[in-house]
Amino acid sequence: MNVLFLSELLHPHGGGAELATYLYAGLLSNADFNVRIITHRFAGEDALSRRASLEIIRLQLLGRNSMKYSMLSNFPALFSSILRDSIRWADVVYIPLYWYSAIPLAKALGKSVIIHLHNYILSCPMGTLFEIDLSSVCNGRNVACRAGCILAHEREGGRDLAGVLASIGLNSMGKNVMGWLASMCDAIVCVSEAQRRLTAETVTRNLVSKLHVAYNPLPNVPFIESEGMDFGYFGGYSNSKGLPVLYKAFRAFNQRHDGRVRIHATKFGNLSKALRIRLERAGFVFYGRLERQDYEEMFKQILCVVVPSVWAEPLPYVVLEALLKGRLVVASKTGGIPEIVEGCNGARLVPPGDYIRLADELEFVSSLDHRDALELGMKDRKTILKRFDNEQILGKFVGILDAVS
């Protein structure tokens, strides 16, 4: 079977969605599928690369707009001979994130199309189903997003005024546009049962019957033995990732410990000086871009990874990778997180937004004997490797490909 991936970014660029796409491409090609990926070309990358049955074509795809609207409006790429020829070559066209504008072309050429949801883009133009300005989960039933919600999302992302105004105009229509394009596809893959349920509650009826669930593949993450008793947080400066909740919880926790315990934190490039000082006083230690060896050295100081998200994260890789590294996890009981940590005794869940409970769980982790914590981490790693078996995950995904081809 020939499978065409239309992915605007590809690992190591991007985040969890792009990592899952990269892993699925490798698993399929190793299983004798012919895989072709069309993705954005960054400086220093080859326009074409091949490895056995995996081919990557890199084009200039992204412009000044957000990635979502760059892909909807990139007509030169959409009408290029490379894209048309690739769609004709394919048995199935697979869209893991935002390239929905290619769906009408693929259907016009008689091809099956699969969409993979790594967020809630069909229910919410911002992809989160979380209203930052109100600090509450969105019910997803509004025809258009509120301007205040879009404004809060874009200001958090550091957009200028012109970008914010453009985003308010475009995203107010986004749900209808994305839903209309998605209605032409043959299947929609969700990454967790929780995401499928929430999506089914918030999309139009004609999409519900197309929803399937296939977990993301596990990356090859080695066990790293912990030498310290610190915490790790990798969500960056984001209200929806729960930074304000974590700040209040850790400040209360560290007052009892005289500042001896720290939180090692990444993805804080756009942090203001004043906020950085406040967080550092609470016990945060910030890192810039780390090479692999430096990242692993930093991780040795961490006993537990904290994931205080207040939005319903579909299936966050940060939880999976923490457990694979043998770390304890304290996380919000929301989205797909409970599905990940099922059966893991070293994982503690708290109600999203409850900083008092979060501080209590940080205290519990800190009270553990280091040897006991390491043993819990090793057992949880084995549990995750057994429950998220890549052969079974690939089998589920191939079943969806077979059903639509």
| CATH number, domain with residue 205 | 3.40.50.2000
Question: Both 269 and 359 in a single domain?
Answer: yes
The mean-pLDDT minimum among 43-52, 76-85, 151-160 falls in 151-160
Cβ atoms 370, 322 nearer than 8 A = no
DSSP 72-120: HH-HHHHT-HHHHHHHHH-SEEEESSS-GGGHHHHHHTT-EEEEEESS-
Question: Both 68 and 205 in a single domain?
Answer: yes
The mean-pLDDT minimum among 37-41, 71-75, 232-236 falls in 71-75
Domain that holds residue 153: 2-217+389-404
Question: Both 288 and 245 in a single domain?
Answer: yes
What pLDDT is attached to residue 68? Answer: 72
Question: Both 173 and 110 in a single domain?
Answer: yes
Check whether 188 has a pLDDT greater than 90: yes
Give me the amino acid identity at 36.
R
In total, how many domains does the chain have? 2
Over residues 146-161, mean pLDDT: 67
What pLDDT is attached to residue 127? Answer: 84
Check whether 189 has a pLDDT greater than 90: yes
Question: Both 125 and 145 in a single domain?
Answer: yes
145 or 107: whose pLDDT is higher? 107
Do the domain assignments include residue 224? no
Over residues 101-128, mean pLDDT: 93
What pLDDT is attached to residue 255? Answer: 81
Over residues 316-335, mean pLDDT: 97
Question: Both 28 and 65 in a single domain?
Answer: yes
Question: Both 370 and 393 in a single domain?
Answer: no
Average pLDDT, the chain: 90
Check whether 136 has a pLDDT greater than 80: no
Burial 101-114 (b: 16+ CB within 10 A, else e): bbbebbbeeebbbb
Question: Both 361 and 307 in a single domain?
Answer: yes
What pLDDT is attached to residue 397? Answer: 97
Q: pLDDT tens-digit profile of 287-309?
A: 988 888 888 999 999 999 999 99
Do the domain assignments include residue 8? yes
Name the β-bridge partners of 82. Answer: none
Give me the amino acid identity at 366.
S
Check whether 154 has a pLDDT greater than 70: no
Question: Both 72 and 195 in a single domain?
Answer: yes
Check whether 143 has a pLDDT greater than 60: no
Band (pLDDT 50/70/90 cuts) for residue 72 is confident
Do the domain assignments include residue 279? yes
Question: Both 163 and 251 in a single domain?
Answer: no
Question: Both 84 and 103 in a single domain?
Answer: yes
What pLDDT is attached to residue 178? Answer: 85
Q: Give dist(CA 317, CA 86) in Å, integer.
A: 30
Do the domain assignments include residue 57? yes
- Ranges 201-205, 294-298, 324-328, most confident: 324-328
Check whether 222 has a pLDDT greater than 80: yes
Band (pLDDT 50/70/90 cuts) for residue 137 is confident
Question: Both 377 and 399 in a single domain?
Answer: no
Check whether 142 has a pLDDT greater than 70: no
Band (pLDDT 50/70/90 cuts) for residue 46 is very high
